[in-house]
Amino acid sequence: MRPDLSEFVRTIPNLIRTGKIAEIRADKVRVRLSPSLMTTWLQWIALRAGAVVDWCPPSVDEQVTVLSPNGDLTQGKVLAGLFSADSPAPQTSLTIRSIHYPDGAVVLYDFGLHTLSAILPTGSSALVKADAVTADAKETTCTGNVMPSAPRADPSCSPLRPSPPMLRNKIADTAAHSVIWLRLIPSPPPNQVSASVA
């Protein structure tokens, strides 16, 4: 008696299939595999989902791969990240790592040129919140206004008598062509200076 191979013939093509996301609901998506075939709700594969969690959901019409154990599409997992004619590769350089967002924002690092940029669209804002922030650079350029807030700058730091290079940070306002000196370590009180000299 010959075995019935019809089931294998039916399921083998479903092991790995490509399609486009038709609907998305948080951590699950439905994929259109053909004009007449759409999957049930399937999990999409994230980069990390343990102690470290990466959240970057795919989008509608994104081309994906559906991996189905035993060819059972109801058990499939969705792997996103296939470029297509509708969504071509945004770069051609092999030394660039970039993330492009639908609002026009781009975060890009070129390890060939050693340059890092984060370009946000008009009307956007950026926030870095921490107990301490260090900018370690030979020169820092600001093209807009610099608005200090509490704690106030040390009043003993005169713009006419800047601190020594090891005790200061230079902010060059290229728009106004001005230079602001900010004291990072306050000088000792005058009486302590006199006592040490004596």
Nearest to 71 by CA among 27, 12, 6: 12
Output the six-digit token pair for 42: 């399937």
pLDDT tens for the chain, 198 residues: list them. Answer: 676 777 778 889 999 999 999 999 999 999 999 999 999 999 999 999 999 999 999 999 999 999 999 999 999 999 999 999 999 999 999 999 999 999 999 999 999 999 999 999 999 999 999 999 999 999 999 898 888 876 655 555 545 444 444 444 444 444 344 444 444 444 455 454 444 444
Q: In what order do the strands lie in the sheet with 178-183?
A: 140-142, 168-173, 178-183
Count CB-CB contacts under 10 A for residue 63: 18
Amino acid 3: pLDDT: 67
Asked if 57 and 22 count as a contact pair (C-beta separation under 8 A), the reply is no
| pTM, 2 dp | 0.69
Q: What is the pLDDT of residue 196?
A: 43
- The identity of residue 31, as a single letter, is V
Predicted confidence at residue 69, as pLDDT, reads: 94
pLDDT value, residue 151: 61
Token pair for residue 144?
A: 């807009």
Query: What is the pLDDT at residue 11?
Result: 87
